[in-house]
């Protein structure tokens, strides 16, 4: 393997919910960006300096916890350039969208050369940021269909719409993301731990019944016939043949 090359994702590859780490030392901007991305159905954690960001990403054994890092280049404690170098050196496959106040071609080329996957100059339009994050998120996962159809259920991740039996379902963002992940597994079992990791942020209590409760609410809204089954001591799966 070529040194610094990006490794394949871990065996369990759940998409298409995008998990993002926003790294920005301006707290107001970081909170605004993270809030907006969550409203777009993404799972978001926040770091306010480069060292904390590196600890977030490289502190996980499979190096695949985050699909995308939205990275301010001029960070305290650890510069964004060094963050990128260390990510590449570790063989991490997380995609990086670099944000910077500099907008010259030379700056862009330099940032991409350090290991960033895309580049966005400040100030930026939020819609463009969302589009670029989604594009990088797709590159982090195998290709998935634009809509999921199982029996009389249809889910459109881009439009954030789920319909069953012709009726639109009123799902919370967590319920929608959980259903999306289960559908993307195409009938395979997904553990509660994986669902908690992908759908909730880093402050979720791993010992709580959050996943079980959310699955229960989702089942009630999906109605009959049952679409999600519990696999004892393993997790949950969609009845793909439904």
For the whole model, what pTM was predicted? 0.64
Three-class DSSP labels, the chain: CCCCCCCCCCCCCCCCCCEEEEECCCHHHHHHHHHHHHHCCCEEEEECCHHHHHHHHHCCCCCCCCCEEEEECCCCCCCHHHHHHHHHHCCCCCEEEEEECCCCHHHHHHHHHCCCCEEEECCCCHHHHHHHHHHHHHHCCCCCCCCEEECCEEEECCCCEEEECCEECCCCHHHHHHHHHHHHCCCCCECHHHHHHHHCCCCCCCCCCHHHHHHHHHHHHHCCCCCEEEECCCEEEECCCC
Q: In what order do the strands lie in the sheet with 43-47?
A: 43-47, 19-23, 68-72, 95-100, 118-121
Query: What is 148-238's CATH topology?
Result: Arc Repressor Mutant, subunit A (1.10.10)
Query: Tell me, which fold does domain 19-139 have in CATH?
Result: Rossmann fold (3.40.50)
Q: What is the pLDDT of residues 165-192, one digit of tens each?
A: 999 999 988 899 899 889 988 888 988 8
Q: Which residue positions in the chain have pLDDT lower than 70?
A: 1-16, 60-64, 102-113, 140-145, 202-207, 241-242
pLDDT tens, position by position, 23-34: 999 999 999 999
**Domain extents in the chain:** 19-139, 148-238
How far, CA to CA in Å, does 125 sit from each of 36, 158, 208? 12, 19, 38
216: phi then psi, degrees, rounded to nearest 5: -60, -45
At residue 205's C-alpha, the angle toward residues 204 and 211, to 5°, is: 80
Q: How far apart are CA 218 and CA 14, in angstroms?
A: 19
Residue 112 is predicted with a pLDDT of 65
How confident is the model at residue 167, as a pLDDT? 93
């Amino acid at each position: 393997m070529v040194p610094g090359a990006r490794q394949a994702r871990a065996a369990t590859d759940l998409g298409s919910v995008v998990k993002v780490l926003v790294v920005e030392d301006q707290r107001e901007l970081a909170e605004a960006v993270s809030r907006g991305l969550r409203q777009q159905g993404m799972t978001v954690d926040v770091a306010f300096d480069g060292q904390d960001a590196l600890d977030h990403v490289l502190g996980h054994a499979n190096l695949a916890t985050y699909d995308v890092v939205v990275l301010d280049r001029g960070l305290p404690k650890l510069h964004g350039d060094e963050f990128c170098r260390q990510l590449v050196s570790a063989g991490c496959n997380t995609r990086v969208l670099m944000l910077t106040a500099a907008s010259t071609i030379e700056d862009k080329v330099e940032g991409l050369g350090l290991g960033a996957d895309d580049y966005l100059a400040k100030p930026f339009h939020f819609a463009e940021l969302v589009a670029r994050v989604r594009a990088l998120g797709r590159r982090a996962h195998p290709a998935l269909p634009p809509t999921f159809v199982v029996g009389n259920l249809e889910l459109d991740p881009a439009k954030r719409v789920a319909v069953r039996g012709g009726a639109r379902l009123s799902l919370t963002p967590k319920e929608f993301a959980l259903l999306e992940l289960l559908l993307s597994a195409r009938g395979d079992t997904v553990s509660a731990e994986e669902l908690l990791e992908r759908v909730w942020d880093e402050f979720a209590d791993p010992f709580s019944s959050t996943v079980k409760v959310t699955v229960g609410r989702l089942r009630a809204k999906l109605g009959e016939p049952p679409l999600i089954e519990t696999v004892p001591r393993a997790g949950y799966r969609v009845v793909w043949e439904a």
